[in-house]
Structure 1
Amino acid sequence: MEKSDTNSGQKTKVCEKIKEQVSTPPLFKVLMHNDDYTTMEFVIEVLREVFRKPADEAEKIMLTIHFQGVGCCGTFPFAIAETKAGRARLKARKAGFPLRCTLEEA
């Protein structure tokens, strides 16, 4: 945009700054589902290794999964949630368990 300076007759340029809004990425819950084959010990192992939960918290989440059918392993941005769920599924398949992890928008 150009404006004329009324005192000197010269044209000057005015720069307008546009603020960019940076938003935080949407978060997703990683949910682990109960099944009749995956052992409680293995679920705790996955919670500790993949989701970095302390032993007491991993046990509480495992019991929630066991008694309520599903438990939240953590809340992360999509790419991290997808990676952690994939690592948990891969570890379960290698051990011969049908463990199921899904994502849900938080």
Structure 2
Amino acid sequence: MTMPIYTIDPVSKGLCAPPAMPYFSAMAPNSDLLTHPLGMAGNGPGQGPGHGPDHGDDEGNGLGVATRTRARTKQPTPYRVLMLNDDYTPMEFVVLCLQRFFRMSMDDATRVMLHVHQRGVGVCGVFSYEVAETKVAQVIDFARANQHPLQCTLEKA
């Protein structure tokens, strides 16, 4: 079954206001740019985007300077998350923390754990302040929950 199609003129039914200015789809050649609506809007011949006095087009007289300003976003200050050595936390637990909270592989976690064990401190990663603070809190909470004195801190990179 085919549905009939009805056309409703919204202006004649009072559903919207008539257009204030007639719309022209193209300018006739030799028309006056000042009296034509598209000419006043700057859409006439040679007036498209990138042309005209506001776009650095000075017809080759060399006086125009095109500048472009761009807002620069400030990079967040990086922070290092450091793990501190102690004599009580098992090495396997340190490796587990590095794998769980810093997404390290077994080899990388073992390497960092040995570095912490031999030198007293080791870098777990570099993050923005909020992420570094969260990771420090997670490691300390996890260590406390498992009754280990493991310490973790952060510093500016």
TM-score of Structure 1 vs Structure 2, range by shorter chain: 0.7 to 0.9
Correspondence 1:10-21 to 2 at 5 A: 19-21=70-72
More strand by share: 1
Q: In the TM superposition, what is the alpha-carbon distance from 1:38 to its structure 2 partner?
A: 0.5
Residue identity matched to 1:66: H
Correspondence 1:48-67 to 2 at 5 A: 48-67=99-118
Match of 1:37 among 65, 71, 88: 88
Percent identity among equivalent residues? 44
Structure 2 SS opposite 1:50: helix
**Which structure's CA Rg is the greater one?**
2
Structure 1 SS opposite 2:125: strand
Deviations 1:38-89 (A, max 9, x none): 1100000000001100000000000000000000000000000000111000
Q: Which ranges in structure 1 are unaligned for 5 or more consecutive residues?
A: 1-13
**2:119 equivalent to 1:68:** yes
More helix by share: 1
- Computed over aligned residues only, the root mean square deviation of the Cα atoms, in angstroms, reads 1.3
Alignment match, 1:7:
none
Alignment match, 1:83:
134
Match of 2:73 among 11, 22, 44: 22
Alignment match, 2:98:
47
Structure 1 SS opposite 2:72: coil
Give me the TM-score of the superposition, normalised by structure 2: 0.56
Q: In the TM superposition, what is the alpha-carbon distance from 1:37 to its structure 2 partner?
A: 0.6
**2:149 equivalent to 1:94:** no
Residue identity matched to 1:83: T
Q: In the TM superposition, what is the alpha-carbon distance from 1:21 to its structure 2 partner?
A: 2.1
Residue identity matched to 1:84: K
Query: Relative contact order (alpha carbons < 8 A, sep ≥ 6): 1 or 2 greater?
Result: 1
Residue identity matched to 1:37: Y
Give me the TM-score of the superposition, normalised by structure 1: 0.82
